[in-house]
Amino acid sequence: MLAEYWPILLFIGVAAGLGVVLLVIGLLAGPRRPESEKLSPYECGFEAFEDARMRFDVRYYLLAILFIIFDLEIAFLFPWAVVFTKIGLVALIEMALFLLLLVIGFAYVWKKGALEWE
């Protein structure tokens, strides 16, 4: 029975070995020119100027949650589109309602000004 797992173990071993070899080659052959700019902390397009425990604006988190919601919407749409011809008109109506609810939510967030970035 273990003989059936031999190709999988071989694949994992080769992949791990190749990963280690490529990392070692990158460390040995790569240029090392540390400068103050390269060693400075960098976050979100501007230099860090306060403590790491500073408060962030709530709109940042709201925008991240909105991205996740609409990303999940696409995750639901792809499998539905693949089997659309098999599931019929009822599924089309259900997906239309799902998209309508998302559009209503998006319009609400837009109207509240949550997408405005100052």
* pLDDT tens per residue across span 19-58: 999 999 999 998 888 887 777 766 565 556 666 677 767 7
115 CB-near residues (< 8 Å, 6+ apart):
63, 66, 109
Q: What is the pLDDT of residue 20?
A: 98
Span of 12-26, 44-58, 60-74, 95-109 with lowest mean pLDDT = 44-58
Alpha carbons within 13 A on the beta-carbon side of 55: 3
Binned at pLDDT 50, 70 and 90, residue 118 comes out as low
Alpha carbon distance 4, 13 (integer Å)? 15
